[in-house]
């Protein structure tokens, strides 16, 4: 009798596995197809209504480019995800549906927050919006996110901290969510950069979610990758029909990455597989945009300027000022981001995570110092030449 029950459970597990692999493939292809259909129409509407991103002294493009591509991100994600959820409910055993139902409850706050950010993003892309209004919207969205029970509750030994009480974890998560959302918005300054960085984070987190048998979140990552592939093509390679994601896209993308990163780092006792130091892995996936934004804010504060005043201090600006093309800037930064994630995943198994984190910081500081030295050398050569 026991062997028969075991055989039935094993069959159910195999059937579930094939179903979930099929859903991942379906979600990837359908999200690519929907985005490929939507983007040309968005570009047409943007050109028809004159919805362009106009060049200025801080921006690096020289001709007006249609924006609003990001308006497609959330609707396509919700549509494909809802279809996949219906398939799971219809085809899976009650145990699988129960697991997904638990995850869905944590998604309610995320959906509400995403709608808030999409709204302020659309307003900013259409008629402009004050920075204070965008910050307020991000704060409201972050509060909605944690209201679903999602917050950082364990640092896994990072900074010598393990379990984190709710009185600290909840406000910390709100601030972190706002910071991640802003960081992705700020790094969106070179063709393909924000989508490339997001792609690295999504593939990394999606793979790790899959290893932990957290298929619900792998599904979200795969859908987002499928959405970003057509956008990346139009943004980087299709010079005749180039399009930007706009604030609607960068804010939504940043919020999505915050949601996924926080969930991966959150310690919830369950049957999910374990991964060494999930807090550091989550941080690694977004290390470059987060620490670039932090560095720029500190530099502005030291010089007595507003930490939120736009300028050309970001990493991509430094590379562009050295004469690299948009494509080379994107390739370099995306390569660095992916290399850092792979390095950290390998090292957390054999080295204390605080040493790994210190090494990451040292590499980052060394890179910035190298770029500053190259820029100074370039200016010296220019002065000598003239």
Query: pLDDT (tens digit, 9 = 90+) per residue, 187-238?
Result: 888 888 999 999 999 999 999 998 888 888 999 999 999 999 999 999 898 7
Is the pLDDT at 374 greater than 50? The verdict is yes
Contact 242, 46 (CB under 8 A): no
Q: Is pLDDT larger for residue 313 or for residue 193?
A: 193
- Binned at pLDDT 50, 70 and 90, residue 378 comes out as confident
Beta bridge partners of 163: 154
Largest CA distance in the chain: 90
Candidate ranges 3-7, 56-60, 129-133; pick with highest mean pLDDT: 129-133
Q: Is pLDDT larger for residue 49 or for residue 121?
A: 121
Residues 6+ apart with CB under 8 A from 370: none
- Structure tokens that stand for 379 in this block: 């200016």
Residue 86 pLDDT: 83
Q: How far apart are CA 262 and CA 282, in angstroms?
A: 7
Residue 238 pLDDT: 76
Q: Is pLDDT larger for residue 275 or for residue 298?
A: 298
Least confident interval from 26-40, 110-124, 307-321: 307-321
Contact 359, 302 (CB under 8 A): no
> Can you list the alpha helix ranges (DSSP code H) found in 128-245?
131-147, 166-186, 193-211, 215-232
Distance of CA 352 to the CA centre of its chain: 26
Chain mean pLDDT for the chain: 84
Output the pTM of the full model.
0.88
Query: pLDDT (tens digit, 9 = 90+) per residue, 330-355?
Result: 999 999 999 999 999 999 888 889 99
Mean pLDDT, range 11-29, rounded to an integer: 74
Residue 11 pLDDT: 37
The domain locations on the chain are 10-54+63-385
Is the pLDDT at 16 greater than 70? The verdict is no
């Amino acid at each position: 009798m026991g062997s028969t029950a075991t055989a039935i459970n094993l069959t159910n597990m195999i059937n579930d596995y094939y179903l979930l692999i099929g859903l991942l493939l379906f979600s990837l292809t359908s999200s690519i197809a929907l985005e490929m259909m939507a983007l040309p129409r968005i570009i047409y509407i943007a050109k028809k209504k004159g919805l362009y991103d106009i060049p200025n002294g801080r921006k690096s493009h020289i001709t007006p480019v249609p924006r609003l591509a990001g308006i497609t991100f959330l609707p396509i994600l919700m549509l494909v995800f809802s279809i996949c959820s219906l398939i799971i409910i219809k085809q899976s055993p009650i145990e699988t549906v129960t697991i997904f139902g638990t995850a869905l409850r944590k998604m309610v706050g995320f959906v509400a927050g995403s709608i808030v950010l999409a709204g302020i993003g659309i307003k900013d892309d259409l008629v402009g919006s004050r920075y204070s209004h965008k910050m307020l919207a991000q704060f409201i969205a972050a509060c909605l996110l944690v209201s679903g029970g999602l917050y950082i509750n364990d640092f896994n030994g990072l900074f010598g901290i393990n379990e984190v009480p709710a009185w600290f974890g909840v406000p910390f998560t709100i601030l972190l969510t706002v910071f991640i959302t802003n960081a992705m918005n700020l790094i969106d300054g070179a063709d393909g950069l924000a989508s490339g960085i997001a792609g690295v984070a999504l593939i990394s987190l999606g793979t790790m979610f899959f290893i932990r048998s957290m298929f619900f979140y792998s599904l979200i990552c795969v859908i987002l990758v499928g959405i970003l592939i057509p956008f990346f093509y139009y943004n980087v390679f299709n010079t005749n029909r180039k399009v930007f994601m706009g604030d609607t896209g960068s804010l939504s993308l940043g919020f999505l990455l915050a949601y996924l990163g926080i969930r991966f780092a959150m310690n919830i006792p369950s049957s999910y597989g374990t991964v060494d130091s999930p807090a550091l892995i989550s941080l690694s996936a977004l290390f470059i945009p987060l620490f670039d934004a932090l560095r720029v804010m500190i530099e502005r504060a030291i010089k007595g300027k507003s930490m939120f005043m736009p300028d050309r201090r970001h990493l991509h600006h430094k590379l562009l000022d050295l004469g690299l093309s948009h494509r080379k800037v994107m390739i370099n930064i995306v390569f660095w981001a992916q290399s850092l994630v792979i390095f950290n995943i390998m090292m957390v198994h054999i080295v204390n995570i605080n040493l790994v984190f210190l090494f990451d910081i040292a590499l980052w500081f060394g890179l910035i110092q190298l770029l500053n030295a190259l820029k100074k050398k370039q200016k010296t050569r220019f002065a000598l030449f003239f």
